[in-house]
Amino acid sequence: MEKGDGKHWTKDEIEARKAAEKLLERKDKKGLYAPSWLTTEGKEVFARVVSSMKGLEILDNIDTENLATYCDAVANYRALSKNPVKTNDEVKAMQAYARLQLQFSDKLGLTPAARARLAKRIADKKPIDAFGKKFD
């Protein structure tokens, strides 16, 4: 049985997971700012996401464009969803924006599953065994 379900973790595995989470912390904090090309609603989504993610230290300045693309998709989806009657093209556009939201939210760590995978990946990295390295 895989240990991915969180059952029967050893003390070392638990400590490795905690250490991995600490590695996600940025040493010099930088603010994230919405790019000027985002719409007003997109900027509101951007601010909400950045505020919601505060303390998790997952997002960084390097993520600005990806986060802005996610926020643009959210804003465009919302705008189209306000129309009570939608054309076929609007429905297709909404589906495309929904797919973008899901893809970018997963890549940016905006979902619980994405954050758990990221922490697990870091925890699963094998520590360097100085003794064993001599025999490699």
The pLDDT score that the predictor gives to residue 1 is: 37
Band (pLDDT 50/70/90 cuts) for residue 76 is very high
Task: Give me the residue spans of the domains in the chain.
Answer: 10-124
Above 70 in pLDDT, residue 80?
Answer: yes
Cα-based distances in Å from 56 to 37, 39, 70, 87: 26, 26, 18, 40
Q: Is the pLDDT higher at 120 or at 35? A: 35
Q: Which run of H or of E encompasses 136? A: none
Structure tokens at 125: 């990295």
Q: 119 φ, ψ to 5°?
A: -65, -40
Above 90 in pLDDT, residue 61?
Answer: no
Above 60 in pLDDT, residue 5?
Answer: no
Mean pLDDT of the chain: 82
Band (pLDDT 50/70/90 cuts) for residue 2 is very low
- What's the pLDDT tens digit per position in 6-48? 567 788 887 887 787 777 665 666 678 999 999 999 999 999 9
Cα-based distances in Å from 77 to 27, 35, 93, 94, 116: 35, 19, 8, 5, 27
* Weakest mean pLDDT among 15-29, 51-65, 71-85, 99-113: 15-29
